[in-house]
Structure 1
């Protein structure tokens, strides 16, 4: 089924899947994830976009200016607050410091609640930013509480503070289902996993990276299966988090294997999905991992630069092929790699979690 949008024909473009447009609308706050799920219940819907969008759907300059002024003002307030705190921070007790940070988090949280939220309105983005800042302040409060007031061990304090931050971020994400809150939740869970692994397996510097990688891989798989939206954003974010987490396991041999495997997986997934952003993440990961691996494993080999040159040429060819396939994809029948079956995604995520737990347990016991 093909649907035409905008009856005023100016320029006819190739049909695109409705799911791609819906994911962009969710990311922009135009519709809710539940509405998106209902709209994409039919996978065969293609939409033909005719001409430029009508003026009624364009953002007014005054709205853009108001939003920009709000963000700039918030940055100015943040910087000035930090400067003022630096003047008196050393004179404050631990309890007062924690109270100040807690009040800042509460103020940002309240400002987010007070922001009027309407679909497609600037209020959606303002609330997202305010609550993202509130999450950061809450993390600072928990760090001061666990480390300075409760005087816990460094590993225990990090684990408790990150777990509390993850819980708070998840609660805000449940209330406000938008990308900044999802990102905050993912990052907090990654830090929590790394901190917990470091707490139960001290002395193994590469294992915390494995814990963070497990969360990132799970996030990517759930996004690939459509359980986390918008998929077009969740996949690159999850892939980038996987690459960064895998690099934290270096320079162990197992860490290099994990990092190279992660980069290869991201590049392959990008090619299968014709996703240029995902391919860019894979290319950056290749630049991070391959030179380090070549230096570690073949320090005296003259063939290393030539191997790196070949890998670079392969990445260029992959980018060209992906761009051409991305352009022609709506007209090419074939298997849709854009979405993994939900059951498969859940099973794969479960396998990743179980394998990671087993690895940590074996290393700890050994």
Structure 2
């Protein structure tokens, strides 16, 4: 089978394409190939990348052991510093690895940034606690710092770990919002997470939030878990997880995404378990209901797949 380059040469020689058009096609294909390599990570993991991950892990364990053995003897400012300084160093390491502009080093830099963001967020919580802030205010500040830092790092260099950092930061933020009232509000926390997840879904499908793989996983998890979380309080919000799960499943069919399908099914499954066990006191009855519902679902799917009513005239 002739290659694309051979076809171009034949078409140029036959006068079908001019030389300038051939060069434009070659340039376009080179750019497309480079873009695909960047999207797929370029090259597979190598020994240098593995050593970077090992170094980060070993250093983190060393810091944890050092902090745990001296924690009680440290003053408040020292406790904050002993967490913040490694965080800043991790951010600096990530920036240095990204400058090497090699796929393995870039991935290592993203992991270093994720680690640094977690440490800086922890240092924020410690600083707020040392300053005597109320727990609700401390949680809110930590969530804002975690989300803001993850967004800033993602803006500099989008990567899977940065999307995970954004998801973790927004989750902390919604927990803080739920705790602003006298008693923790699952409604506020859960619905806030649903709204943020829905916004992430829109941003992902519009191509604004990338990489798409991690973005879809984080966004769909936010929608379904937020809806399930809101239903922890009895009432109208119990049905929210079924609406959200069905919506995410529908989105998976429309966009052809397995992550959306898994998140939607998990949400509906969790909602069924929670609803039945909450409202049916007898365990045997609850188990029987779950078996019957599961069997009916399977039978329905098999029947539809077998008879394919949409093929009938």
Once the two structures are TM-superposed, the CA of residue 26 in structure 1 deviates from its matched residue by: 5.0
Select which of 111, 126, 139 maps to 1:129: 111
CA-CA distance at 1:65 after TM superposition:
1.7
Contact 1:194/1:210 (CA < 8 Å) preserved in 2? no
Q: Secondary structure at the match of 1:98?
A: helix
Q: What displacement does 1:310 show? A: 2.5
Moved over 6 A (4+): 4-7, 21-24, 315-318
Q: Is 1:93 paired with 2:75?
A: yes
Equivalent of 2:291 in 291, 297, 305: 305
Aligned to 2:179, the other structure's residue is in SS state helix
Partner of 1:115, secondary structure, is: helix
Q: Secondary structure at the match of 2:186?
A: coil
User: 1: CA distance between counterparts of 2:163 and 2:213?
Assistant: 14
C-alpha distance 186-313 of structure 1, shift in aligned 2 (>3 A): farther
Asked if 1:283 is matched to 2:265, the reply is yes
Compute the displacement of 1:203 (Å): 4.4
Partner Cα distance (2:272, 2:97) in 1: 47
Equivalent residues in 2 for 1:335-350, closer than 5 Å: none
1:202-254 per-position Cα deviation (integer Å, ceiling 9, x unaligned): 44333212212211121112212222223344223211222222222233233
1:144 and 2:98 correspond: no
Query: Distance in 1 between the 2:236 and 2:5 partners?
Result: 54
- Hey, what's the Cα distance between the residues in 2 that align with 1:295 and 1:75? 41
TM-score, L = length of structure 2 = 0.76
CA deviations on 1:157-203 (whole Å, 9 max, x unpaired) are 10112112222222111111222212212321232133134315744
2:228 alignment partner, one of 247, 252, 258: 247
Query: Distance between the aligned counterparts of 2:124 and 2:241, measured in 1?
Result: 32
Return the structure number with greater relative CO, CA threshold 8 A, min gap 6. 1
Contact preservation (8 Å) 1:205, 1:249: yes
Q: 1:166 touches 1:185 (CA, 8 Å); kept in 2?
A: yes
Alpha-carbon distance between aligned partners in 2 of 1:24 and 1:317, rounded to the nearest angstrom: 41
Distance 1:201 1:218 in 2: 28
Structure 1 unaligned residues grouped into runs of 5+: 8-17, 31-57, 322-366
Check the 8 A contact 1:173/1:181 in 2, yes or no: yes
The residue matched to 2:210 in structure 1 has which SS?
A: coil
Higher mean displacement: 138-147 or 217-226:
217-226
Larger fraction in helix: 2
Q: Which ranges in structure 2 are unaligned for 5 or more consecutive residues?
A: 7-28, 307-313
Give the TM-score taking structure 1 as reference length. Answer: 0.66
Q: Residue 206 of structure 1 is aligned with which of 174, 184, 187?
A: 187
SS in 1 for 2:180: helix
Whole-Å separation in 1 of the counterparts to 2:290 and 2:110? 46
Q: Check conservation: 1:283, 1:315, Cα contact below 8 A.
A: no
1:195 aligns with 2:176: yes
Higher deviation after alignment, 194-203 or 257-266: 194-203
Q: Output the CA distance in 2 between the equivalents of 1:315 and 1:225.
A: 32
1:230 maps to: 211
Task: Name 1:154's counterpart in structure 2.
Answer: 135
Q: Contact between 2:177 and 2:188, CA under 8 Å: does it hold in 1?
A: no
Equivalent residue of 1:227, what SS? coil
Q: Distance in 1 between matches of 2:302 and 2:159?
A: 34
Moved more, 255-264 or 205-214: 205-214
The answer (yes or no) to whether the contact 1:190–1:216 under 8 Å persists in 2 is: no
Alignment of structure 1 residues 1-366 onto 2, 5 Å: 25-30=37-42, 59=44, 64-117=46-99, 121-147=103-129, 149-199=130-180, 202-251=183-232, 252-299=234-281, 303-311=289-297
SS at match of 1:199: coil
